[in-house]
Amino acid sequence: MKTEKEKMLSNELYNHKDAELTKERNHAYELTLRYNQTKDDETELRTSILQQLAGKLGNNVVIKPPFQCDYGYNLILGDNVFMNYGCSILDCNVVEIGNNVLMAPNVQIYAAYHPTDHTLRLKDLEYAEREELNLALLTVEEGGVLNGNRNRLEELYQRGVRLITLTWNYENCIGYPNSRNAQEMQKGLKSFGKQVVEEMNEREMLVDVSHLSDGGFWDCIRLSKKPIIASHSNARALCAHPRNLSDEMLCALGECGGVVGLNFYPQFLQSDRSAEVLDIAKHGMHILQKAGEDSVALGTDFDGFEAGKNWIRGIEEIECVWDALKKAGMTERQLDKLSYQNVKRVLGEVL
């Protein structure tokens, strides 16, 4: 059986919390910490530290502090290498820098730390579940970051982004946000926005319609060949806020295989009194009834609002939501789908 280190070096799924790997990272951290505390005239000391750190060190290697790497032994540095200030190398695999190389300040190099075959990466979820690891998805909320440039979508993809919320609260190059103005609400995606949706499908990226106008939502339904999601939206039938989805929209999203993430922001739960945890459950049950039990999930939006004294402040208080959902009639099977299975399914279908 391969060790976790051997798996890492083979671009296989591995547990980064493995004792051997943790010890090696700590060792590299101690060496780089010592290195970053040296002075420019302590060249012999710097060379000595680099010899202990790097897998192979050529002649006349100069690295200006601060410098950071994960392991060090995966670094192969040739002769006459100069790295300017702020270089970071995530050397989960071999990083080779040849002879006569000059690097600018703040260069970052990332070696592969996951399977290079995308079909194997879909097993990340199962692996994380088996090893009891946390797993996160890099997302962007506000497609305006593309600034009308399709090349930026490729850049985001290469940086690991796999979900884009097409709009936030303002018009951008993709389309229009939700609005209480009926004319604004019916505006659809712009020409560039339609291209973005199609390219996101091709690149296997999740299209997120939360914050989007109704017209933009329906354009996504028509254009997308893969499930779309509303990462943090509720039911408009229960709270008539334009950020929420109508029953017709919920049905359409369920039919395309997408998911809706329940939003815990009080103003999106209840419009004429103070919201209660029971309101979260009511929205959850309504979405389940309209979109189907395979399309309800958690969105929370914890990072999007400040919780009051008597409101849920974080995931550590999620148990009260489970209790409310159970009281509202949600079964254990449906709770499992809401808590992770529905999102897991969509990730497998899109990514």
Q: Which residues are catalytic?
A: 114
Half-sphere exposure (CA, 13 Å, Cβ side) for 320? 14
Alpha carbon distance 256, 10 (integer Å):
37
Phi, psi of 2 (to 5 degrees): -70, 145
Contact 85, 67 (CB under 8 A): no
Alpha carbon distance 275, 91 (integer Å):
48
> DSSP labels for 74-113?
TEEE-SSEEE-TTEEEE-SS-EEE-SSEEE-TT-EEE---
39 by DSSP, 3-state: which?
A: coil
DSSP strand E in the chain: where?
56-57, 61-63, 67-69, 75-77, 81-83, 87-90, 95-97, 101-103, 108-110, 139-141, 163-165, 206-208, 229-230, 259-263, 296-300
Q: Token pair of 56, please?
A: 């192979």
